[in-house]
Amino acid sequence: MSARGATRTLGTLMLVVGVALLVWVVVVWRWEDPFTALYTTWKQHQLSQSYDKRVRDYRPPEQIESVANAQAASQAGLVAAQVRAEARQYRLDSKRGQAIGRLRVPRLGLNMVLVDGTDEGSLQKGPGLDRRTYMPGEGQLVYIAGHRTTYLAPFAHIERMRAGDPVTIELPYATFLYRVFTKKIVQADDMAALRSNGREIVKLQACHPRFFASHRYIVSARLVRIEPRGEHAITAPARVLAAAPLAATEG
């Protein structure tokens, strides 16, 4: 092959590779990485089976001291205290990487099993609850992270969330409905986002901008309704609890 022919062949190959890369970027940007999506789909299937078993086997603690001693002014207060005690016990019984619930966000078309943990392995399975925060029902911060371009990209379009949008978290002991009230972008190392202020808020977090991790995009939603297992639904307690430290410091 002549030098001119070799140059032409090399140029053609480079053009083909360039076009393929461009198509790949567009696919991932518009939708998601299909290869990692297959892995997460398989993991979600396993987690779904695991979570369904947790629901079937779930039994509330026989005696909960905090409920027995609660000075509740109403039946709703007693129910909220029961849920809070069950939530804490469920958090302490859960293990990193385990299926703990189901997360539904209609605006994002999201209905996935929620994983305990935000380490790399856990987030490859699906959206994960930061173990330094709390379980729904404890009256504190519930912080959930998820990928934006890979592993089914649960929070790919988190920026589309609007005030009033519902966020639902189902757990064996109760189902919790939250409504979005604000969103913001913070530095990736901003630990203030993990501080609980004594009121139950769920924060959904994804890296920002897409394909980078210099910042975090955070959507916050307030608890508005609790549907305890085997009980009538109640509105979220108006009472604000004492602000709690990072859950990890409690063991």
* pLDDT tens for each residue of 41-67: 999 999 999 999 999 999 987 655 555
Cα–Cα distances (Å) from 186 to 38, 113, 138, in that order, read 31, 26, 25
Arithmetic mean of pLDDT over the chain: 86
Residue 249 is predicted with a pLDDT of: 52
With tokens 């109760």, the residue in question is: 174
User: pLDDT-derived band of residue 19, with 50, 70 and 90 as boundaries?
Assistant: very low
Residue 29 is predicted with a pLDDT of: 44
Distance CA 47, CA 152 (A): 14
The CATH number of residue 189's host domain is 2.40.260.10
2 belongs to a structural domain: no
The domain of 105 spans: 8-250
Q: What is the total count of domains within the chain?
A: 1
Checking if the pLDDT of 14 tops 60, the result is no
pTM, to two decimals: 0.84
214 belongs to a structural domain: yes
1 belongs to a structural domain: no
160 belongs to a structural domain: yes
3 belongs to a structural domain: no
Q: Can you tell me whether residue 39 is helix, strand or coil?
A: helix
157 belongs to a structural domain: yes
Percent of residues, the chain, with pLDDT higher than 90: 68
Which of 103, 104, 109, 114 has its CA nearest to residue 43? 114
pLDDT tens digits along 129-139: 999 999 999 99
Lowest mean pLDDT of 35-49, 164-178, 229-243, name the range: 229-243
Residue 231 is predicted with a pLDDT of: 85
Distance CA 167, CA 105 (A): 5
Distance CA 39, CA 83 (A): 34
